[in-house]
Amino acid sequence: MLRNIEIRDRVTKDLRALPKNDAERILNAIYALRTGMRGDVKKLTNYSPSYRLRIGNWRVLFDIEGDKVTVYRVLNRKDAYRR
């Protein structure tokens, strides 16, 4: 089953601030979510968005609703879970 990927505007800004090779690696990992939960994906407890994808020192925060994956942020691991 292929999932639709929705990337929020904030993610585009986050990716532009990263080095090009890191941004490409993160985008490839995000689009790999279309075909399944590939990579280091973990369901978060008591946190919204509900899932995170770990790519080196970077965290992709996203939710899954039916066949749609909504990506909200791409952050460094030290900043990812601060509120």
Look up the CATH number of the domain holding residue 67.
Answer: 3.30.2310.20
In a domain, 83, yes or no: no
In a domain, 18, yes or no: yes
In a domain, 61, yes or no: yes
pLDDT in tens, 71-80: 999 999 999 9
Asked whether the CA dihedral 28, 79, 5, 2 is positive or negative, the reply is positive
Q: Are strands 40-43 and 51-55 parallel, antiparallel or unpaired?
A: antiparallel
- Domain of residue 68: give its range: 4-76
Q: What is the domain count for the chain?
A: 1
- One-character DSSP codes across 6-62: EE-HHHHHHHHTS-HHHHHHHHHHHHHGGGS--SEEEEPSS-SS-EEEEETTEEEEE
pLDDT in tens, 32-73: 999 988 889 999 999 999 999 999 999 999 999 999 999 999
In a domain, 52, yes or no: yes
pTM for the structure as a whole: 0.92
Q: N- to C-terminal Cα distance for the chain?
A: 34
In a domain, 29, yes or no: yes
